[in-house]
Amino acid sequence: MARHDPTELAKAAYAAYGGATGGKNYRGEPMPAWDDLGTQIQTAWEVAAEATARMVLGLTRRADGQSERKGAAR
């Protein structure tokens, strides 16, 4: 898999979410800027973006932590 910066993926996903909601969060309040989210929320976006990228690329994690493509020979 090509290396993708999880933070850049997360920022893109966060911006897309804001674009789809008119810049509002799930409560209908204005979304904070990325830098104002705090580490825990930024990390959550990074984990979600990375999981989505893996799904789109057809990658899974083996028990030993190595990547493999779905359907690939072991």
pLDDT, tens digit (0-9, with 9 covering 90-100), for 30-50: 999 999 999 999 999 999 999
The model's pTM:
0.74
Is the per-residue pLDDT at 70 higher than 90?
no
The owner of tokens 């359907």 is 71
Give the pLDDT band of residue 58 (cuts 50, 70, 90).
Answer: confident
Q: SS3 letters for 56-71?
A: HHCEEECCCCCEEECC
d(CA 40, CA 63): 26
Question: Residue 31: is it exposed, middle or buried by C-beta count within 10 angstroms (0-12/13-18/19+)?
Answer: middle
Q: Mean pLDDT, to the nearest integer, of 2-15?
A: 88
Is the distance from CB of 38 to CB of 44 less than 8 angstroms?
Answer: no
Least confident of 12-21, 24-33, 35-44, 61-70: 61-70
